[in-house]
């Protein structure tokens, strides 16, 4: 009678491994070759690229990741209407890059059906990245003129110079 059963990884785990490999390829392709880039990634890929950057002045990957986890928790999840399959997903995009030094952008678009992010949560997110992640700059911009009215676009910028 077997005491251990070995099963193949679930399809989502396989996809995740592919996504992480793609993140490594992206890092290898651009990081040492450019001082100016911005690449939008899936959350897991962005975390992998952040981890690969490792250290840069006050930037320490694990501290940055910890700070971003706080921001992720503060961001309202998607709500697209009752029983919508996207409900509960992250309601923002993440881009990692270099602007001479590491920079991270989060962009959240809010529509009529979105759960709005409170300004106090935006300030707390920036504070977490400054204190925990040691960012030199952490700020957000609210664009009320976003073309999908009524709505707004919130862009966070976290920069280590």
Q: Mind listing the pLDDT tens digit for each residue in 48-105?
A: 999 999 999 999 999 999 999 999 998 888 877 788 888 888 889 999 999 999 999 9
54 located within any domain: yes
Tell me what pLDDT residue 147 has.
Answer: 61
The pTM is what?
0.84
4 located within any domain: no
Do the strands 36-41 and 55-56 form a parallel or antiparallel pair, or are they unpaired? Answer: unpaired
82 located within any domain: yes
Tell me what pLDDT residue 129 has.
Answer: 97
117 located within any domain: yes
Query: 108 falls in which pLDDT band (50, 70, 90)?
Result: very high
| Separation between Cα atoms, residue 49 and residue 29, nearest integer Å | 12
Tell me the residue length of the chain: 161
| Separation between Cα atoms, residue 155 and residue 108, nearest integer Å | 6
| Separation between Cα atoms, residue 89 and residue 77, nearest integer Å | 6
Q: How many Cβ atoms are within 10 Å of 158's Cβ, its own excluded?
A: 26
Domain count, the chain: 1
Average pLDDT over the chain, rounded to whole?
86
2 located within any domain: no
Query: 32 falls in which pLDDT band (50, 70, 90)?
Result: confident
Q: What angle do CA 59, 156, 43 make, to 5 degrees?
A: 70
Determine the structural domain holding residue 25 and report its residue range: 11-159
106 located within any domain: yes
5 located within any domain: no
């Amino acid at each position: 009678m077997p005491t251990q059963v070995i099963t193949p990884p679930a399809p989502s785990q396989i996809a995740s491994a592919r996504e992480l490999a793609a993140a490594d390829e992206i890092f290898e392709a651009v990081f040492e070759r450019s001082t100016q880039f911005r690449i939008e990634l899936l959350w897991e890929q962005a975390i992998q690229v952040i981890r690969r950057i490792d250290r840069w002045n006050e930037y320490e990957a694990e501290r940055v990741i910890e700070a971003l986890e706080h921001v992720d928790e503060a961001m309202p999840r998607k709500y697209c209407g009752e029983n919508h399959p996207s409900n509960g997903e992250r309601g923002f995009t993440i881009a990692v890059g270099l602007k001479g030094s590491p920079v991270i952008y989060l962009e959240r678009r809010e529509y009529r059906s979105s759960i709005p992010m409170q300004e106090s949560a935006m300030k707390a997110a920036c504070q977490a990245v400054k204190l925990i992640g040691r960012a030199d700059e952490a700020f957000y911009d609210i664009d009320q003129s976003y073309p999908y009215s009524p709505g707004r676009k919130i862009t966070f910028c976290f920069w280590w110079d």
